[in-house]
Amino acid sequence: MSIHPLAAISPDAHLGVGVKIAAFATVEADVELGDFCTVASGAVVKSGVTTGCHNEIGEHAVIGGAPQHVARPEQIGRVVIGDHNVFREHVTVHRALKPGNTTVVGDNNYVMASGHIGHDARVGNNCICANGSMLGGHVLVEDRAFVSGAVAVHQFCRIGRLAMVGGHARVVQDVPPYMLVDGQSGCIVGLNIVGLKRSGHTAADINDLKSAYRVIYRKGLPWNDVLKTLQAEFTSAAVAHLWEFLSTGTRGFSQERRAPPTATLRLRIPDEDAATLLRRAKAG
């Protein structure tokens, strides 16, 4: 164990083997840090936090802050963090709003600088939240999801497994598993093919997901028929998880970004008179 003499460590904190705490860091009472965790200079681990092993808490991060809620009760919940997570500079993770509840971060997650995880949020395993990303209260992020920089996720929304949300997107409805969200529009623009391949999904899995995607977004079926079709016509585990996610939604789901077939673009021709415009049909 290595604790800098200028660190402020409560005698009621429980520190595991090999913990390293830098100068000006603070670890309050009722904190449990697992083996080989590191707390960088200026970071604060507040009461009500339990972590596993090999977690890295960056400079001036605040783990276990009180929930940002105007009706916050006197007694609040906890933060539970798994193993091998990285919380970079100025990251904030807030405790759950009510006693007995927890904000949960799983294993092998990477939260980049100034990321925020709100009260009662649940983050799975192997997720990445890029710089300045913000997860509101009660947000669920499933395994291997990627939340890009400056993304704002509204409270109670869910981001499905292996989904990738583009930078600056506003997520106000659930993002289904395996989907790719355009940062500018916040709409679905297809499957996260790269992520699927990197995670070991086979060509057959991807083809099944492509067919399921067409059922969801292209056939124009009523919602109940979409769910029945997914359940009846697909047997792969990937589509089964997609069906389960879709069948349990309560906030609605992000829509596909597709322009009407008759939409056009007005394009300027550099060598023509400024008043001369060419109208071309936009590719569907």
- Residue spans of alpha helices (H) in the chain: 193-198, 203-217, 223-233, 237-247
Q: Which CATH homologous superfamily contains domain 2-138? A: Hexapeptide repeat proteins (2.160.10.10)
**CA 43 from centre of chain:** 22
- Taking the chain (284 residues) in runs of 10, the rounded mean pLDDT of each run is 96 98 98 98 98 98 97 96 98 98 98 98 98 98 98 98 97 98 95 97 97 95 96 96 96 85 50 49 42
Domain boundaries, the chain: 2-138
pLDDT of residue 282: 45
Place of tokens 């500079």: 89
pLDDT of residue 261: 52
d(C-alpha 21, C-alpha 169), whole Å: 36
d(C-alpha 225, C-alpha 221), whole Å: 6
pLDDT of residue 270: 57
pLDDT of residue 11: 97
Active site positions, annotated: 119-120, 137
Contacts 24+ apart (CB under 8 A), 123-130: 124/161, 125/82, 130/167
pLDDT of residue 258: 80
d(C-alpha 200, C-alpha 222), whole Å: 32
Nearest to 259 by CA among 281, 237, 240, 274: 281
